[in-house]
Chains A and B, each alone.
Chain A
Amino acid sequence: MTVLDLLDEETPRLGYAVTAPGGGARFMVYAEAALPVDKTAVVQPDSAFEDLDYSLHLGPEASPEALIFASTSELPLDGRSAREAIPFGDTELLLTMAPTEQLGGSLNAALPAIVLATGVPATVAAGALTETLQRRRRHAERLAADNEQLLGEQRTSFAAFQRSLLPRGIPAVAEVEVEVRYVAGDVGTYVGGDWYDLIDTSGSIVVVVGDVSGRGLAAASAMAAMRHTVATLASMGLSPDEVLTRAAQLAVRAEDGHFATVVVGALDKVGRTFTVASAGHPPPLVAAAGDARWMELVVGPPICFGPPGSYRSSTTAIPDDAAVLLVTDGLYERRGETVDEGMDRLRRLAGATLRTSDALGPSVDRLIGEMTGGAASDDTAAVAIRWRT
């Protein structure tokens, strides 16, 4: 689509642009020309048109705002005058002509013919310009299509990269049912830093959910490094607080401020307890008998947020019929709502949704769907776990 507009600034300018197909504010071709400050262009005294006043307007109306320029400041040209509309892009140029003096006779009689004679070349010129613009537009449209394809490929490779960083399926564990979810938010093409992990050790099942701040490749790379550090430490049988303390010591603090929040929980297969430590991350939710509560934790600082912090583990019993849910804050964070309001919304919904009688997978999907309204704004990682009965 072609647009033509007057930029009414200190020095008025006339600009045209060909916009990209599909609208938006992307210009494919753009050009502009300065206009006389007072928008007056005098007809040369020896010109064939010296007895004529003319005005050129943008669009169908001869209004002062639409004036491109005129040979006189006494506008509009009314009385005996003639007008010709010259198509240009998706608008038109309005050429108005009138005799400089109210003469009778031959000039008046000739006026429509003069306008026609002036208008025809103007139409031809506008037509030629339109043709040029259309050629450029076709070229621009090809470029836009190529760009679209490249962007699509980039988005696809980002998505593939993100998937490559997440666990490829999770280990089957005899003692528990596990459901994991990663929901990409609608914030753009960049991958986020959310992750989950599940490590089956001899005595316990270690669940990890984390979130590296920021988006894009830097955040995703920082996430990959953090994820593998935490998984390795957890597989060595360290307690959750030790895992976090060591991970914080090993992590490289970035001045661009990427930091990580991580929750690590070890589910004791024999004692049926859950031992959890958190680095700035929301605690697990434990849902049972139609109710859910946030586990009480001593939350230490996020990793890579200043000097390494120290962490403490807390332990709670996990009843046979309970489901444990670990999430990233993307699931409940909303602008215009406090953290507590968001967390309470999730808590109540988890209590109502994660019911013992229902299959775990569909319950988790329903919970995420209701929390996000089907369209998550931020990325979300979630792990739900329940004893097999």
Chain B
Amino acid sequence: MTDLARQFRCEVDPDPPLVRVFGDVDIDSRDVLAATIRDLLEGRDGATVVLDLAGVTFLDSSGLAVLAGVLNSGHGLTIRNPPPIVQRIIEATGLDDVVHVDP
């Protein structure tokens, strides 16, 4: 895995709300991701955001906390294209019940 692929970045589609996430989602990038989603959902109570995680190279509990924050603020969350490492974390932490996953 090249360093460039691991570099965190995200792209946003405003309508319907979609964030494409790339690279490592960890303690260094979680605040940027959380702020991006917050800005995107500003003024749209209860809206569902789609996170396309196809480009994610690493996700730890800091990254999961971003997802928890989205749900805890009353928004819906759909995960799209989770790579195997993310799929496994979702299964291992019993998140398939609360997060809608589009393969």
Is B5 interfacial (CB 8 A cutoff)? Answer: no
Within 8 Å of chain A (Cβ to Cβ): is B93? yes
Query: With A257-B65, A339-B88 known to touch, is A280 a contact of B93 (CB < 8 Å)?
Result: yes
User: How far in angstroms is the closest Cβ of chain A from B44?
Assistant: 15
Question: A299 near B92 (CB under 8 angstroms)?
Answer: yes
Interface centre among A211, A280, A307, A340 (most CB of B within 10 A): A280
The distance from the CB of A19 to the nearest CB of chain B, in whole angstroms, is 25
Most buried by A among B34, B85, B94: B94
How far is A307 from B61 in the complex, measured between Cα atoms in Å? 18
Asked if residues B97 and A300 are in contact (CB atoms below 8 Å), the reply is: yes
B101 → A minimal CB distance (Å): 13
By a CB distance below 8 angstroms, the chain B residues around A211 are: 61
| Residues in A244-273 with C-beta less than 8 Å from chain B | 253-259, 261
Output the least CB separation between A333 and chain B (Å): 7
Q: Interface on chain A toward B: helix, strand, loop, or mixed SS?
A: loop
**Closest approach, in angstroms, between the C-beta of A300 and any C-beta of chain B?**
5
Residue of A nearest to B77 (CB): A306
A4: Cβ under 8 A from any B Cβ: no
| B68 and A213 contacting across the interface, CB-CB below 8 Å | yes
Choice from B60, B65, B77, B84 contacting A259 with Cβ under 8 Å = B65
B89 at the interface (CB under 8 A from A): yes
Residues B72 and A254 in contact, CB atoms below 8 Å apart: yes
On whether A302 and B97 interact (CB within 8 A), knowing A213-B61, A333-B60, A338-B85, the answer reads: no
Within 8 A of B (CB), among A280-307: 280-282, 299-302, 304-307
Provide the B69-91 mask, 1 if CB < 8 A to any CB of A, else 0.
10111000100000011001101
A305-333 vs B, CB cutoff 8 Å, 1 = contact: the mask equals 11101000000000000000000010001
Partner of A305, one of B24, B71, B84: B71
Complex contacts, A299 vs chain B, CB 8 Å:
91-94
Cβ proximity bits A164-195 to B, threshold 8 Å, 1 near / 0 not: 00000000000000000000000000000000
Convert A340-363 into 0s and 1s, putting 1 for each residue whose CB lies closer than 8 angstroms to a CB of B: 100000000000000000000000
Q: Is A204 an interface residue (CB 8 A)?
A: no
Q: With the chains together, A115 CA to B98 CA distance in Å?
A: 79
Contact of A339 among B24, B67, B69, B89 (CB under 8 A): B89
Complex CA–CA separation, A272 to B67 (angstroms): 39
The DSSP consensus for interface residues of chain B is helix
Judge whether B88 and A302 touch: CB under 8 Å.
Answer: no
Chain A residues, Cβ within 8 Å of B60:
333
A279 contacts partner chain B, Cβ-Cβ < 8 Å: yes
Between B67, B68, B88, B89, the greatest number of chain A beta carbons within 10 A of the residue's beta carbon is seen for B68
Whether B69 lies near A278 (C-beta < 8 A) is no
- Beta-carbon contact of A257 and B97 below 8 Å: no
Q: How far is it, in angstroms, between the C-alpha of A336 and the C-alpha of B60 when the chains are bound?
A: 11
Q: Give 1 or 0 for each of B41-74: 1 = CB within 8 Å of chain A CB.
A: 0000000000000000010111011111101110
Residues of B within 8 A of A279 (CB): 94
Closest A residue to B89 using CB positions: A339
Q: Which chain B residues border A304 with CB–CB below 8 Å?
A: 68, 72
Q: How far is the CA of A253 from the CA of B71 in the complex (A)?
A: 9
Known: A214-B65, A257-B34, A257-B65. A339 touches B85 (CB 8 A): yes
With a CB–CB cut-off of 8 A, which chain A residues contact B85?
338-339
| Contact among A257, A280, A300, A335 with B72 in the assembled complex (CB-CB below 8 Å) | A257
Contacts of B95 in A (CB 8 A): 280, 301-302, 305
Least CB distance from A194 to B in Å reads: 11
Is B97 a contact partner of A309 (Cβ separation < 8 A)? Answer: yes
The answer for the CA separation of A136 and B68 in the assembled complex, in Å, is 48
**Separation in Å of the A50 CB from the closest CB of chain B?**
56
The minimal Cβ–Cβ distance linking B34 to chain A, given in whole angstroms, is 7
Q: Is the CB of B58 within 8 A of A306?
A: no
Q: Can you add 20 more A-B contacts, CB < 8 Å, to A255-B73, A305-B98?
A: A213-B62, A254-B69, A255-B72, A257-B69, A257-B72, A258-B68, A259-B64, A280-B93, A280-B95, A281-B93, A299-B94, A300-B94, A304-B72, A305-B64, A306-B71, A306-B98, A307-B98, A333-B60, A338-B85, A339-B89
Report, nearest first, the 5 A-B pairs whose CB atoms are least far apart.
A257-B69, A306-B71, A257-B65, A299-B94, A280-B93
